[in-house]
Amino acid sequence: MNDIKNKNKNNKNAVNSEGVEATEAQISVYWKEEAPVSPSVKFIAQANMSDSDIRERFKMENFPECFREYADMLTWDKYWHTTLDAGNPPFWKWFVGGKINASYNCIDRHLAKYKNKAAFIFVPEPEEESHIAITYQELYARVNEFSALLQDFAGLKTGDRITFHLPMVAELPVSMLAAARLGIIHSEVYGGFSGQACGGRIADSGSRVLVTIDGYYRSGNLVDHKANADIAVERAKSLGQPVDKVLVWRRYPGKYVSKSPMVKGRDFFIDDILKDFRGKYTLPVSLPAEAPLFIMYTSGTTGKPKGVQHSVGGYLSYVAGTSKYIQDIHPEDVYWCMADIGWITGHSYIVYGPLALAATSVIYEGVPTFPDAGRVWRIAERLNVNIFHTSPTAIRMLRKTGPDEPKKYNYHFKHMTTVGEPIEPDVWKWYYEVVGKKEAVIVDTWWQTENGGFLCSTIPALEPMKPGSAGPGLPGIYPVIYDENREEVKAGSGRAGNICIKNPWPGIMQTIWGDPKRFVNTYYSKYNKNKDSKDWRDWPYFAGDGAMDASDGYYRILGRIDDVINVSGHRLGTKELESACLTVPEVAEAAAVPVIDETKGRIPAVYITLKPGFEDKEREVTQKVISTIEKEIGKIAKPKYVYIVPDMPKTRSGKIMRRVLSAIPNKFDIGDITTLANPEVVEKIRLLVQGEAPVITRKRPEDLEHFGEER
Ligand code: WT7
């Protein structure tokens, strides 16, 4: 998944539908341009950033000093002397000479004004359990006690690594902020990952302490989570990394809900040990700005996951700045990001960004549609949430299960975010009209784990929204689109290419943990102009996404460049096919994958789920899907198969696993599905597509090796 270099080399000089020579990076784009939508006067009046001078302040001539504006939102123990040290590309150092602590910035400095305000509100999945508000004062106490425990009981110190394998519970940010207080580098492994996956990450990061929990709720079940810890420790050991302590939070302190036995001398209940640390404090450690704050593994299931390393000073500045200007977070707001803290979105925009701004951040334990399609809107109503943040997949799922539910609840959002994948204009409109009640602005934020924070989005009070487009580069972010020949693809040319960022920014990752070579190869080699150059201008960041720049400077993101289907040399983006399918009214979700074909090379197959009530319309919908694709895209894109399936296989972050869907009709090995939210659906789909016959698997050809790889 990493060495995107040399990919697609078979398709040089293919010919596209207009008979024009197409370069490798050229991906067909079929979405129509949508009319811009303006933010309301009411939103603008209260926005953090309504000064049109901002683009001027962050213009290229003012780089890198413009980013002082973000760093100045924080409290520094010592002010920095060099804003950007770019002397050793592409290992950028931000705010050099500065000293800072993230835990202090997210908690201590807010106490004078906000100690009685909720920092987090934990919403348990069982609806009969009360919400728990944790004030800044209470968070301060908990974080201090746990950091004292990490120091004195677990023997950890600045620079050590610690692995968390925690779900969506308040103990997760408590653990993160306690580690950050001491400069212990945390590595949170998404709670839905298997013990095996966790063990691999423990070993890679060199952690000898694992923090877990006995259980948590998902879809009404109390999941036994501690069992994963035993597998993780075994796996880490087999990879040469001993774990000497497993610290176990309990979902209900004092009551153990897991069946997995506690290992004597290794496993400890945190609530027991904390008794010895009641009222204890630790001093926040003053760290150099470029000290690592955390590692976040990108979740490839093939290829070794990459430990993306983020810095304390640069990262925190960037998430604070973007939370303020793009998320428009004020201390008075009730902000709910429905992502999981186990992903970068949660690190940046549930924990570090919002807390740096003294916000109230909601943590929801469970599944959005549990126990019914109204749950999300009931939470929003009850807590008076006014900023809402989620993904297109979640929006599609909420629309599928309850298209009219939002109307039944009395909540009002001023601001909504979408992140994680391209959002079809049709889905955008439902989000805007039904969820946002035409009152809320929407920001479509494009970025990656590697980036720390948003790269493209509109500034909500200043720039109109355009459904289907993320928007311009953020202040101080200068995107560019290159083709495979390293030529710039001009705005408004109607051509797509590889989106890159010309300049470094404070939120960019520092390196891949333990593998700086891979870091340079993956993100910089492709478009580096001269590997000996010490000038940052020669080192554009390669994101690995296809994109197109409309003439207005708004970027439309087309998805991973690997996710294309090459039909007789025509490169069809999976997103274009899927969005065409979604214009069929009965269709709830669509996923397009390539199927190997003797004559045409690859032909699309599409998987469809139906909206409730249309289950008996299979034949009709199949016909409609085919004719719509032919009409919207062309005969060349006609799918070989249309499979109507009960559900899509999804990661627990909500991404459809196209890798799995492409394996089935092609008879590739299906691979690891333990990280799926709904692994049981895979066999159902396999039966539907392959039937009962024994299956002889075949090897993935080179061009499809990385197709649909989830990140
Ligand atoms: C990939 C990064 C960092 C946020 C969560 C995902 C895709 C992300 C958008 C968007 C179109 C998007 C890209 C990117 N992506 N946001 N607004 N529009 N595509 O983080 O797991 O690191 O995935 O998600 O393909 O490369 P991630």
Q: Which of 84, 118, 58, 63 is nearest to 325 (CA)?
A: 58
Of 322, 390, 447, 554, best ligand 1 pocket probe by most atoms within 8 Å of the beta carbon: 447
User: How would residue 277 be classed by pLDDT, with cut points 50, 70 and 90?
Assistant: very high
pLDDT by residue (tens digit) across 617-643? 999 999 999 999 888 777 888 999 999
pLDDT by residue (tens digit) across 187-242? 999 998 889 889 999 999 999 999 999 999 999 999 999 999 999 999 999 999 99
165 pLDDT higher than 80: yes
Angstrom distance (rounded) from CA 448 to CA 499: 12
Question: At residue 127, what is the residue type?
Answer: E
pLDDT at res. 303 = 58
Q: Is the CB of 548 under 6 A from ligand 1?
A: no
597 pLDDT higher than 80: yes
Residue 13: exposure state from Cβ atoms within 10 A (0-12, 13-18, ≥19): exposed
Average pLDDT, the chain: 92
DSSP conformation class of 651: B
Lowest-confidence region among 23-27, 70-74, 77-81, 228-232: 23-27
100 pLDDT higher than 50: yes
What does the pLDDT average to over 111-136? 98
Nearest CA to ligand 1 atom 20: 448
Angstrom distance (rounded) from CA 142 to CA 280: 9
pLDDT at res. 711 = 63
Q: What radius of gyration, in Å, describes the C-alpha atoms of the chain?
A: 24
Of 299, 340, 418, 419, best ligand 1 pocket probe by most atoms within 8 Å of the beta carbon: 419
Angstrom distance (rounded) from CA 42 to CA 440: 10
Question: Rounded to the nearest whole angstrom, what is the distance from the C-alpha of residue 422 to the centroid of ligand 1?
Answer: 8
- Note the pTM of the prediction, 2 decimals: 0.89
Angstrom distance (rounded) from CA 251 to CA 216: 6
Q: What is the DSSP track for 252-281?
A: BTTB----SPPPTTTEEEHHHHGGGGTT--
What does the pLDDT average to over 356-363? 98
Q: Is the CB of 422 under 6 A from ligand 1?
A: yes
What does the pLDDT average to over 274-290? 98
Which one has a higher pLDDT value, 697 or 668? 668
pLDDT at res. 299 = 58
pLDDT at res. 29 = 58
User: How would residue 37 be classed by pLDDT, with cut points 50, 70 and 90?
Assistant: very high
Angstrom distance (rounded) from CA 684 to CA 515: 40
DSSP conformation class of 668: B
Q: What is the DSSP track for 447-487?
A: --GGGSS-SB---TTTS-B-TT--BSBPTT--EEEE-TTSP
Q: What is the DSSP track for 172-233?
A: HHHHHHHHHHHT-EEEE--TTS-HHHHHHHHHHHT-SEEEEESEEEETTEEEE-HHHHHHHH
User: How would residue 25 be classed by pLDDT, with cut points 50, 70 and 90?
Assistant: very low
What does the pLDDT average to over 578-595? 92
pLDDT by residue (tens digit) across 462-503? 999 999 999 999 999 999 999 988 999 999 887 889 999 999
23 pLDDT higher than 50: no
Beta strands in 534-612 (DSSP E): 541-549, 555-560, 564-567, 570-573, 587-597, 601-610
Angstrom distance (rounded) from CA 292 to CA 182: 12
Q: How many CA atoms lie within 13 A of 246 on its CB side?
A: 31
Question: Rounded to the nearest whole angstrom, what is the distance from the C-alpha of residue 456 to the centroid of ligand 1?
Answer: 11
What does the pLDDT average to over 640-650? 94
What does the pLDDT average to over 118-123? 98
12 pLDDT higher than 50: no
For 371, 410, 643, 648, 680, the CA distances from 683, given in Å and listed in that order, are 25, 41, 14, 12, 6
Torsion of CA 657, 663, 664, 668, to 10 degrees: -150
655 pLDDT higher than 90: no
573 pLDDT higher than 90: no
3-state SS, residue 609: strand
User: How would residue 27 be classed by pLDDT, with cut points 50, 70 and 90?
Assistant: low
What does the pLDDT average to over 300-306? 64
| 403, containing H or E segment | none
Q: Provide, rounded to the nearest whole percent, the portion of the chain with pLDDT above 70.
A: 95
What residue has token string 């953020």? 474
Q: Which atom of ligand 1 is nearest to the CA of 418?
A: 17
